[in-house]
Chain A
């Protein structure tokens, strides 16, 4: 691709991600409504789709207020960080055989790096708010992300070993015969769980657990800054779903339909799955969350690595 088209494609991706996230706020509510035997937002426009516009309008017109006791600079910086890093993560996603902003040979590491940076957003937001709930939320978030980061990376190493490359494009291509969700099932499970924790969505939304911490790290946020946190969360959700598609479900590959459609279908199904998790599973206690991460998930990923390695060695010999 030319430089111009790459730039245009990048902008398109950003637009699509933001738009997708916006629609997702409505879609998630409708889906939760269906599963909870109610309607969800259904008043504005067909199926209530204009609820998105209404919400946007509301958020945009809200008073852009910074609490006088907060650290002003960091307070404003924090929500921008999460949006930026989540957007950057999309750069390495191959949406189709030719549809990729940049095919880095360390694409997977870039993604991991970007998603790790997201913790700063939450941490800084919590810290800068100068509010005990926000601080506790920030602290929880930091611990949670650090813990789940560890096996998130490790859970993907099986995929890397099988594909023999960090380039996401190569990984997709390596799944020509068999999607990695079969040989790397353990990796898939652990990555999914880590992915939920990384995007701190329910049931792992302890940083903002409203029953305990009012609204956690974004207690003091409102208006556009709050919207950016939300945007970051939903873009993160899409990103994780994209990564799962790429790493475990054969990316764009599929019969008959054009590759980008296959990609979108896979991502859509995964998003629905994430919403189902939110609808069905209660939030664990904080110690249970950490216990799950360190005591079950980390060993599981290590076992997965061990078996993958052994399998490769056997195959080679």
Chain B
């Protein structure tokens, strides 16, 4: 590690870092704007200027940009010298020339990097007396608000949006002081990761639009470490709450999972917690069929009466925590507990889990995925099934550029230089899917095949890798060659197509890569995308023998089930309406524990309101097998309690022998870990409730949390005690210490002088590195199993004459919870069916026409995907109208009789907020 001297103080800095990173890592405050730890340096803003001296004798020195200066042994710098600080002051003064007097009405105020840096540099008085330049704003969709006047032209937004996230519709336009960052024409930002602009922008040009109507400053937000339950990636988040409402979600850094960025489903998908379809009180269905509200004591009594001593079955949920599912399974017995996924999905999920546990390849974290240098995507459009993985893949294709840069002895943070060098050269990514995907722009090769064919293709690649004859399939041979040439090849497949053979095929490719070369120079990775936040945890909990919904229906119809308990699950999204009706009709009593009103709740006899993931504690297992704990951000209102509470109370009332002495979340976790060997690791996901950092709890509120004596003064002027947290090491107050805690307990980032999210580096070992308290979560699937390569399986196939219904999830809409959130709801399309050009021609329909599925009278809008495999009809599960469609079933289509085309203009301009003139 080189030693450098800064202001006569010697520092040891990491090899290959730039000076700005080194200064920040050493705890020195050096202002900056354009540099970002995930995006490297371009030296655009000139804010991190320092003075470098040639040698000991040099007294004048010269000004260099910290972010563009590599640290070398013995280099001498000055941060505080007049020359450097004067230069920085001049730079910020010029950046502030046109900055409007907006802070009071700016959603960035109080966590603004520009405010922080202005204070840090010491610029106080505006000397400029001229006119400020102004800009018109653009409407950028329901998620991101644009206020161009505030821009300081650091170019972070376009660098993030275009270079990092691969978006195309946001750019820097015009020249000199007319530079404008926006779209060519007004409209919704197309990238699924546009929300990160809110965090990337150092000032208030891009702000969270869903926050602005109910705005709360950062210092007033109560927050706790949470995990996004929007998909199976398990991104770490920090939701912020005030007045009992979730205000916004920010990224919580996790070096191995989401890093600095979230997808828009994760960022904007928590609004469901504030939704008016939340259930506030337990409800008991009376004789006349109406629900009566109960208090929680009566509700518990009813719950016990309807459960204890009866023949009970339970349906869990892949979006509920491991603990809640475990308790329900303990209550009803493992052979009466269904995991709560659809009949089509369950075998795929079980297969995926088995393969992940047995594959000799590494099951990668997102950080591992970013290190891959050859990628084969099988089946899934990951941008829609596991969005954050897609953003990681966009980074992994850049590994070719970094290789080239290393040959040229360029440091990896030399962003502009590396992009210039690599141009369009990328690490190879091959996408084999039924239709076009959002990653096609970075794919070297795209193949469009039906699900069964994809599985066959995968086995062909595996065969080619194992030296088999691949002459008949040149594509497979080429892909095999690509994987063979890579050092860190990555195979990604998913359960979204409900095709077990496809998963087998992916595992076979990964297995073949491992067995082919055992010299350790190659580290193949196999990532299997599962659909929901805790799908994997649910599969690990239930094992392979868990009954599916059809089995339960059969047993119910045989009279073996009196009471059915449904945990946080809308069954009507897990099967056709007729199937679910049959199940619910066959049992005497239906008890539903859920946070939201749903079709299943309407069929229940007793509804217990469950707290959401943001109001409760629990563990979920992400698709990489990482168990992660989320903590309540606030105490749920009304009579809501976590499912864990309801179930544990019921278990104790039933005098269940294992649960008599269990009262604490930690004890439930421990019981779960000891009862289910596959889940033994969940105890290590986060410290237990008795953990204390420096002897005190970790505060959920920043130290300047305001309004404590007035917040609820309208209810009563007598202030109650702060709520006490009996379960977790966090406190519902500002008392405590947000320092040196494990990464899994980081409630928010703030450091003196660093009010914005850029203060994160104060919580990291070194800038951009892991959190100093350790990376959150515990991997349950770590060691590679024995080399078992699946045999070539026969993919399921349907009659070639009919069309096959292919589920292609949508980022906005396919997830049940986020679809009820304000911003996401606005972006949800109406139900549609995608057809290939050939099929559309056969049917005689064009894009925008309506079709009906054979046998039903629901009409769908037709979309044409030119790359869709012929014979496939794609739909987005979860959209209104698509609920109840059976994936992979054969269907016939016909023109909708009374279809009215929507006016195209109406769709394009749904919001008007001034226009470019």
When A and B assemble into the complex, do they touch directly, with CB atoms less than 8 Å apart? no
